[in-house]
Chains A and B, each alone.
Chain A
Amino acid sequence: QKEVEQNSGPLSVPEGAIASLNCTYSDRGSQSFFWYRQYSGKSPELIMSIYSNGDKEDGRFTAQLNKASQYVSLLIRDSQPSDSATYLCAVKGSSNTGKLIFGQGTTLQVKP
């Protein structure tokens, strides 16, 4: 079992729809969770961080964390073609280091 798992997609949604991206992790002691967006040929850029169970909203983005189910998700409301990218889920484990463990990423395609 991979430490951080994401559906590779592609996930295709029409413009204006809600895109739902999911991620599961294996280390129950993980404390910090991040969503990065990566455009083709570019480096990852941070979208959201979440540390506590529940929802965290930032503009059109909502991150959801359920530590009991070891599940974190990202919702993108009113999806735009510019949201088309690969979304990477990253988990910082329970050890006292900065090491991030990444999922393989989900490719999102927003069709006009």
Chain B
Amino acid sequence: KAGVTQTPRYLIKTRGQQVTLSCSPISGHRSVSWYQQTPGQGLQFLFEYFSETQRNKGNFPGRFSGRQFSNSRSEMNVSTLELGDSALYLCASSPWTGGGETQYFGPGTRLLVL
């Protein structure tokens, strides 16, 4: 099975711009979670989607949003970019939510905000 894919892999934006990141989960996986990783804060949960519904949201401002499509692919959007949004954005998929299912991570999108 193909793994989790994320596009683009690298992105450079300037402050004030907006960005959309894409994630395709492992085939058959219906749950997609997004995480932000920075050297200072580590890996932090952004949000989780299951069957096109947001199941949980982390402690991030409203500039961060996401959605999931009927084929389980997910996108996340960050509007009005700030320098502090520079990070590695990771998507993880699992078969379904609510149990102990393992989450498998994609390669990530590295975002640099100038």
Residues of A within 8 A of B (CB): 31-32, 34, 36, 42-46, 49, 51, 88, 90, 92, 95-105
Contacts and interface: CB of A to CB of B under 8 A. Distances in A.
A97 B106 contact: no
Report, as a range, how many residues of chain B touch the other chain: 20 to 34
Given A88-B43, A98-B31, A102-B42, A44 B90 contact: yes
A46 B48 contact: no
Given A43-B107, A43-B108, A45-B105, A100 B100 contact: no
B24 to A, nearest CB: 14
A98 B42 contact: no
6 contacts: A44-B90, A49-B102, A98-B101, A99-B58, A102-B43, A104-B42
A100 B103 contact: yes
Contacts of A51: 100
B94 interface: yes
Contacts of A104: 42
A98 B105 contact: no
A57 to B, nearest CB: 17
B104 interface: yes
Nearest to B49: A98
A34 B99 CA distance: 13
Given A88-B43, A101-B45, A102-B42, A96 B102 contact: no
Contacts of A90: 43
Nearest to A31: B100
Interface string B36-67: 00000011110010100001101000000000
Nearest to A101: B45
Nearest to B92: A100
Nearest to A33: B100
Contacts of A95: 56
A98 B43 contact: no
Q: Which of B88, B94, B103, B104 has the most CB of A within 10 A?
A: B103
Given A36-B105, A98-B94, 7 more contacts: A49-B100, A90-B43, A92-B100, A97-B48, A98-B50, A98-B97, A102-B35
B98 interface: yes
